[in-house]
């Protein structure tokens, strides 16, 4: 039994590192599990229109206590992060988007599009708890342009 445990720990570390997608990040559409909270990180499939979307400022927030989204101007959004988003480490729930690390205390600017059903084919299936009553707005984050904090 002890030998099994010794083998499982390194394997678990590899799996957690793998959930960040390696050097290229998570190739969506995918729903990854954040390593500390166990919450869901939604990542879109490849899409190459970085110049589209409106500019918003936000702070990370778990939506309906299930998915990593953000709050902006007293509104909470379900976020679908861009393809290539990475989980920073197996020790916290910070993510790296466009080379910028977003921590739980960050404020960030991003280009987003609001989307409605039917969702684009690049989207992962949204877990029901993320969408809540269906009135929770869904923001497709195309690009993070600045992070503070």
Q: Which of 47, 48, 49, 87 is nearest to 68 (CA)?
A: 87
Burial of 40 (0-12, 13-18, 19+ CB in 10 A): buried
Model pLDDT for residues 8-56, shown as the tens digit of each residue: 333 333 333 344 455 789 999 999 999 999 999 999 998 876 567 899 9
Model pLDDT for residues 53-77, shown as the tens digit of each residue: 899 999 999 998 899 999 999 999 9
DSSP for residue 116: -
Alpha-carbon distances of 79 from 15, 88, 133, 144, rounded to whole Å: 24, 17, 16, 12
* Tally of residues, the chain: 149
Model pLDDT for residues 118-146, shown as the tens digit of each residue: 899 999 998 888 877 767 899 999 999 99
Question: 58 Cβ partners below 8 Å, 6+ apart?
Answer: 70, 71, 72, 77, 107, 108, 110
The whole-angstrom separation of Cα 57 and Cα 60 is: 10
């Amino acid at each position: 039994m002890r030998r099994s445990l010794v083998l499982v720990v390194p394997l678990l570390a590899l799996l957690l590192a793998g959930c960040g997608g390696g050097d290229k990040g998570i190739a969506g559409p995918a729903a990854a599990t954040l390593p500390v909270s166990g919450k869901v990180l939604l990542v879109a499939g490849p899409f190459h229109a970085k110049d589209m979307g409106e500019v918003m400022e936000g702070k990370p927030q778990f939506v309906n206590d299930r998915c990593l989204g953000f709050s902006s101007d007293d509104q909470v959004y379900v976020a679908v992060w861009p393809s290539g988003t990475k989980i920073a480490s197996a020790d916290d729930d910070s993510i790296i988007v466009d080379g910028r690390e977003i921590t739980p205390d960050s404020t960030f600017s991003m280009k987003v599009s609001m989307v409605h059903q039917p969702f684009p084919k690049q989207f992962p299936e949204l877990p029901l708890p993320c969408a809540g009553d269906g009135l929770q707005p869904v923001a497709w984050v195309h690009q993070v342009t600045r992070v503070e904090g």
